[in-house]
Amino acid sequence: MKKDFLSVSDFSPQEIEQVIEQAVIFKEGDSPHLLSGRILALLFEKPSLRTRVSFEIAMHQLGGHAIYLSPQEIGLGNRESVSDVAKVLSRYVDCVAARTFSHETLISLARYSQVPVINALSDLEHPCQALSDLLTIYEKKGRLAGLTMAFVGDGNNVANSLLIATSLTGMSFHIASPSGYEINQEILGQGRKFTSSSKSEIKLFSSPEEAVTSADIVYTDVWTSMGQDAETDKRRLAFHDYKVDERLLSFAKQDVLFMHPLPAHHGEEISPGLLDDPRSVVFDQAENRLHLQKALLAKILLQTESSG
């Protein structure tokens, strides 16, 4: 049976640990051609730098090949139905990584596809980003369980995936958001179920200072995501007090890690120069997208082969 990866919750804590350990092995040494002859379709409705490049290089280094399909070529749901696209691609490729506006599109792709579908970003989650962030934290801190991540800003897709990822791995998750921009309630409920067994906690704040107090990791993202351009001015007003800067970081632990998934808007959600601060691991995060996705692709494609 195929193994889709649409949400971080599609993996157990043990599977997350295995993928991170495999990513460390790939990063430290050469990548064997485990996926020789395999084809990955990159089905993108949104533009991308890190996601596209990391997936293409990951497949190349593992001996496989990636094909990029732009919005103009597919017209997903307009030029051709989602179900038809899924059925056709299943006859050509071994896996689909889809970057979509709607999470429902991903669910439909997975429903009709006979090959695994990976969420390369949707409006609900960004699970590949979250797992690579866990890899970065593990590299820098030597552990995950017992740490506290504080997320400052919009309760968006990245925040959703991080909440689930931390809850599954024994990390506590604090989030500070202005009214109207809180974390998804369904995701929150799911995360709280996970914390009951992982012995971590989730706390919601309106104050960024309270959220980051004694945190091991401070994380933020853009105030306005792709597809929200019409809300830019409104969001700038709402998030005015949610900028991460030197002052805010001073509330966290002295050895705090600062994280951001990129792209960043300098002078908005972060102060100018913060990405180059010694506490910043932002460019390590970007690099680790490659290593984590190699481990993810190997797990999903080789597992599908062995179960078939």
Q: In this predicted structure, what is the pLDDT of residue 231?
A: 87
For residues 167-174, give the mean pLDDT: 97
Tell me the per-residue pLDDT of 20-65, one tens digit each, with 9 for 90 and over.
999 999 999 878 999 999 999 999 998 889 999 999 999 999 999 9
Q: Which of 135, 90, 106, 92 is nearest to 46 (CA)?
A: 106
Residue 272 lies in domain: 129-285
Give the Cβ contact number of residue 279 at 10 Å: 16
- Tell whether 98 is covered by a domain: yes
Residues 135, 118 share a domain:
no
Residue 12 has a pLDDT of 96
* Nearest-angstrom CA–CA distance, 20 and 144: 11
Pair (160, 24) in one structural domain: no
Report the pLDDT value the prediction gives residue 1, as an integer from 0 to 100. 75
Q: How much of the chain, in percent, has pLDDT values that exceed 70?
A: 97
The pLDDT-based confidence of 280 (bands split at 50, 70, 90) is very high
* 70 and 213 inside one domain: no
Task: Identify the pLDDT of residue 151.
Answer: 98
User: What does the pLDDT read at residue 31?
Assistant: 81
CATH of the domain at 13: 3.40.50.1370
In a domain, 297, yes or no: yes
Looking at the fold, whether 143 and 185 belong to one and the same domain comes out as yes
**Does 149 reside within a domain?**
yes
Indicate if 82 and 217 belong to the same structural domain: no
Same domain? For 34 and 81 the reply is yes
Average pLDDT over residues 202-222: 97
- Is residue 148 a contact partner of residue 129, using CB atoms and an 8 Å limit? no
Three-state DSSP class for residue 145: coil
How many domains does the chain contain in total? Answer: 2
Of the pLDDT bands very low, low, confident and very high (cuts 50, 70, 90), residue 228 is confident
Q: Tens digit of pLDDT for each residue in 64-78?
A: 999 999 887 776 766
**Per-residue pLDDT tens for 256-279?**
999 999 999 999 999 999 999 999
Residue 207 lies in a domain: yes
DSSP state at residue 165: H
Q: Strand runs (DSSP E) across the chain, as ranges?
A: 39-44, 65-69, 95-99, 117-121, 148-152, 172-176, 202-205, 217-220, 257-259
**3 in a structural domain:** no
Q: What is the pLDDT of residue 304?
A: 63
- At which residue do the structure tokens 């995936």 appear? 161
Q: CA–CA separation, 147 vs 185, rounded Å?
A: 23
Dist CA 204 CA 185 (whole Å): 12
The answer to whether residue 7 scores a pLDDT higher than 80 is yes
Same-domain pairing of 23 and 170: no
- Domain identity same for 35 and 165: no
Quote the pLDDT of residue 257.
98
Residue 189 has pLDDT above 80, yes or no: yes
Mean pLDDT throughout 172-190?
Answer: 97
Whether residue 154 sits in one domain with residue 236: yes
Q: Are residues 142 and 281 in the same domain?
A: yes
pLDDT digits (tens, 9 = 90+) for 127-164: 999 999 999 999 999 999 999 999 999 999 999 999 99
Rounded average pLDDT over 223-251 = 92
Whether residue 184 is predicted with pLDDT greater than 60 in this model: the reply is yes
Q: Is residue 95 in a domain?
A: yes
Q: How far apart are the two ends of the chain, measured CA to CA in Å?
A: 6
Q: Is residue 260 part of a domain?
A: yes
Q: Is there a single domain that holds both residue 95 and residue 156?
A: no
User: For position 307, what pLDDT does the model report?
Assistant: 58
- Mean pLDDT over each residue of the chain, to the nearest integer: 94
Residue 219 has pLDDT above 70, yes or no: yes
**Residue 117 sits in the same domain as residue 252:** no
Q: Is residue 276 part of a domain?
A: yes
